[in-house]
Amino acid sequence: MRVTGGTEPTLDQLAGDAAVVRLYRQVFAVLARESGAMIADSGMLDVDEAILDAFADAGREGLTLDQAVAACRPLDARLVTRRFEVLREYGAISKVVDRPNERFHRAAFAPYVMLLFLRRMAEQGGQAELHQLLTLEHVNVQEPDATAEVGRTSVSRLSRIFRHLGNELAILAAGSTAETLGDHAQLLWGNKSLITQAEHVHAVVIERWPQLHGECATLRLALAAYGDAVETAAGRLIEQAGTTRALGLLPVETWVSFARGSDADTLAGVLDGFVFDAPAPWFSPHQLTEAVESGRQTGGARQPPPRPEAGAAPPPETTVAPADDADHLRDLAERLLGDTTSVPVTEVLDDSGDWPAARRVLADLTALHHHPDLPYELVWSDGLRIDVTASPSWTSHGSLVRVADAEAEK
Amino acid sequence: MSDDDALWWARLRSGGPRPVSPDSAYPAGVRRLVEPDAGAVWLVPDLPDGARPDVLDELGLPGAHVDQRGDTARVLAACLRCCWTEPSGPVWPGVGAQLDDVATAFRSITDNRDERALHAALLGAVRRLAGSGWLIFDEDQRVVRLGPRVAMWNAAELSSLRELWRSMPR
């Protein structure tokens, strides 16, 4: 929701807005959650600023809610009302005189200063403020009439700041993706001069109040931890950039505008200190193997080109009848049957002599029975001939029958 | 790294491997490849894994252009087959091989081109490879040796080259 309206925001503006909101949300999250009004976009921030501006212009009488809404006229009235309530709930705006029906309000200056600081910190990552804070602490502890208590609070404050910085960075470096790290880390790390400044404060304190060595040791630890966290985070980002050769450490727009806005010397200067390999070809074993394989393939199995089929086509082969022993079987059957239409199997087997020969005959009989074209079949009956002295010692009763005759008999 | 070393590195990487006299100083981080007759020493940069030329393949970028890449690679494979007599050992220095032997090995891994085309491809590829330090070619004696650049193959690459060596007919 953009209440300021106007032209479509550019990507840079959106990124800036997002940074402002992120910081604002961190700072005011607790308050806002309690009052049920989280800052959800930078438009709300603009509303806050407009309300506070209106109070600045109003002079010493203060403003009523309606006047404030009127002063912020281009903004949505309901939105202004809601933010007005929120600001009043956490004390940025309070009644001029604290009585039930008081309509005029006054604004405290601190929230406005806070807002200004927020905007600046979001733009510059808060490092300038940190530098100023460090300078202030340095001045504080150098005051001639400063007491040990001043030194103690100053040192413990610095320890806590650097602990915060170091912890956030270390957690990001350990647990988050490289993109998240790249997004957040620029707000946190930096610069050796932060540590140097803190060390100056530390040097003054330890010299003036040697009894504070415990607090000073804590500060030294915090500084070292921050330094380590910076190293770790930088190492991870560089490692990431090294494996992917990603140029994503800076936003694309930065690269593009650098490439567009630089003269030839600046562009060439990017490559100062780079040496390029001689343009020699590189042959990996994979390429060699592939080349040898492909050479073999074209050399080995060369297919003859397809021949034209005009006229010279060979005549189609004559159809070959499937091999069949029907004639042989028919002869056998006729020989066995003779004039009769049926002959007992036992008799046929007895005539054939020994069992191996009988077995061959039996196989032929079975083939006769199963052959689709031949009019013979085996008909088995229940009887069984047993003769312990013969070679097939038992034989089923059955007979070979000429089918056509059998049907004719019926 | 001293300025002197840096200069050496710049020379080696921009100019490719170069021979120096055996008693000359050499920078840190280069490999010295002594000629078989100990007459000269080739200096080859010892590159870490992430900075070798095959990085281009990983990135999908085209490397230096080679004319007739397939034939050139096949000729290099043939030379490797002829000059690397002890494939269980290091690839450098190898032995010299007659160009005719190389031609035989080359013919066995190429299609059946006629003799003249084969010879033209072979000679062109040998000269190209000699120009970039993969081979050392003595035109008068018609003897081919492996060049210093073969020493830049690492252990893993050498093992797959041994496979190739075994699979090639002599």
Topology of domain A326-409 in CATH is Ribosomal Protein S8; Chain: A, domain 1 (3.30.1370)
> Which of B57, B99, B62, B91 has its CA nearest to residue B162?
B91
The span from the CA of A199 to the CA of A207, in Å, is: 12
The span from the CA of A201 to the CA of A198, in Å, is: 5
Tokens found for residue A345? 């199997």
- Percentage of chain A surpassing pLDDT 90? 0
Report the pLDDT value the prediction gives residue B111, as an integer from 0 to 100: 72
Q: Which residues of chain A neighbour B168 with C-beta distances below 8 Å? A: 292
The stretches of A189-283 forming alpha helices (DSSP H) are 192-208, 213-244, 252-261, 264-269
For chain A, the straight-line distance linking the first and the last C-alpha, in angstroms and rounded, comes to 105
B81 to chain A, minimum CA–CA distance in Å?
Answer: 12
Pair B90, B150: CB distance under 8 Å = no
The span from the CA of A392 to the CA of A346, in Å, is: 10
The span from the CA of A211 to the CA of A250, in Å, is: 47
Query: Given a cut of 50, is residue A297 above it in pLDDT?
Result: yes
Q: How do the domains of chain A map onto residue ranges?
A: 11-120, 125-244, 326-409
- Using CA atoms in the order A352, A357, A361, A366, what is the torsion angle rounded to 10 degrees? 140
The span from the CA of A318 to the CA of B45, in Å, is: 76
Please give the CATH number for the structural domain made up of B69-167.
1.10.10
Pair B109, A295: CB distance under 8 Å = yes
Q: What is the pLDDT of residues B111-143, one digit of tens each?
A: 777 888 888 989 999 999 888 888 889 888 889
Tokens found for residue B15? 């100019």
Residues 262-301 of A with CB under 8 A from B: 275-292, 294-296, 298-299
Q: In sequence order, what are the beta bridge partners of A379?
A: A399
pLDDT confidence of A116, banded at 50, 70, 90?
confident
Report the pLDDT value the prediction gives residue A45, as an integer from 0 to 100: 72
Nearest-CB residue to A275 (from B10, B63, B164): B10
Pair A39, A24: CB distance under 8 Å = yes
Q: For residue A329, count other CB atoms closer than 10 A to its CB.
A: 19
The span from the CA of B149 to the CA of B19, in Å, is: 12
Pair A7, A43: CB distance under 8 Å = no
Q: How do the domains of chain B map onto residue ranges?
A: 3-46, 69-167
Q: Do A277 and B70 touch (CB under 8 A)?
A: no
Q: Do B13 and A282 touch (CB under 8 A)?
A: no
The span from the CA of A377 to the CA of B13, in Å, is: 96
Please give the mean pLDDT across all residues of chain A: 76
Q: Which residues of chain A neighbour B66 with C-beta distances below 8 Å? A: 281
Q: Is the pTM of this model over 0.80?
A: no
Query: Given a cut of 70, is residue A373 above it in pLDDT?
Result: yes
Local structure of residue A353 (DSSP, 8 states): -
Report the pLDDT value the prediction gives residue A299, as an integer from 0 to 100: 46
Among A176-180, A220-224, B8-12, the range with the most confident prediction by mean pLDDT is: A220-224
Average pLDDT on A287-312 reads 68
Report the pLDDT value the prediction gives residue B126, as an integer from 0 to 100: 92
Q: What is the pLDDT of residues A342-363, one digit of tens each?
A: 888 888 888 877 888 888 888 8
Residue length, chain B?
Answer: 170
pLDDT confidence of A4, banded at 50, 70, 90?
very low
Best residue in A275, A283, A293 to probe B by mutation, most B CBs within 10 Å? A283
A11-120: CATH, from 1.10.10.10, 3.40.1280.10, 3.40.50.2300, 3.40.50.300: 1.10.10.10
The span from the CA of B27 to the CA of B6, in Å, is: 8
Higher pLDDT, A125 or A164: A164
Nearest-CB residue to B54 (from A276, A284, A288): A284
pLDDT confidence of A135, banded at 50, 70, 90?
confident
Placement of tokens 């003859």 in the chain: A304
Pair A223, A195: CB distance under 8 Å = yes
Pair B144, B128: CB distance under 8 Å = no
Model ipTM value = 0.84
Which stretches of chain B score pLDDT less than 70? Answer: 1, 170
For helices A285-300 and B69-83, angle between their N-to-C axes, nearest 10 degrees: 100
Pair B136, B144: CB distance under 8 Å = yes
Cα-based distances in Å from A271 to A30, A35, A267:
50, 56, 8
H/E element, A131: helix A127-142
Among A310-319, A370-379, A383-392, the range with the most confident prediction by mean pLDDT is: A370-379
Taking the Cβ of residue A244 and every Cβ of chain B, the question of whether any pair is shorter than 8 Å is answered with no
Q: What is the pLDDT of residues A28-71, one digit of tens each?
A: 665 555 444 555 556 667 778 888 888 888 777 788 888 888 88
Pair A130, A194: CB distance under 8 Å = yes
Q: What sign results for the dihedral spanned by CA atoms A346, A350, A352, A353?
A: positive
Query: Given a cut of 60, is residue A2 above it in pLDDT?
Result: no
Q: Which residues of chain A neighbour B158 with C-beta distances below 8 Å? A: 285
Residues 47-76 of B with CB under 8 A from A: 50, 53-54, 56-57, 59, 63-66, 69-74, 76
Q: Which residues contact A194 (CB under 8 A, 6 or more apart)?
A: A127, A130, A131, A134
> Which of A200, A206, A198 has its CA nearest to residue A223?
A198
Report the pLDDT value the prediction gives residue A5, as an integer from 0 to 100: 45
Pair A386, A394: CB distance under 8 Å = yes
* Least trusted range by pLDDT, from A127-136, A242-251, A271-280, B105-114: A242-251
Pair A205, A216: CB distance under 8 Å = yes
Q: Do A292 and B163 touch (CB under 8 A)?
A: no
Q: Which residues of chain A neighbour B161 with C-beta distances below 8 Å? A: 285, 288
Tell me whether strands B41-45 and B30-34 are parallel, antiparallel or unpaired: antiparallel
The span from the CA of A309 to the CA of A53, in Å, is: 96
For helices A127-142 and A148-175, angle between their N-to-C axes, nearest 10 degrees: 160
Query: Given a cut of 70, is residue A9 above it in pLDDT?
Result: no
Q: Coil, strand, or helix at residue B31?
A: strand
- Percentage of chain A surpassing pLDDT 70? 75
The span from the CA of B5 to the CA of B12, in Å, is: 10
Tokens found for residue A229? 């966290």
Which residue of chain A is at minimal alpha-carbon distance from B70?
A291
Report the pLDDT value the prediction gives residue A8, as an integer from 0 to 100: 65
Burial class (CB within 10 angstroms; exposed 0-12, middle 13-18, buried 19+) of A188: buried
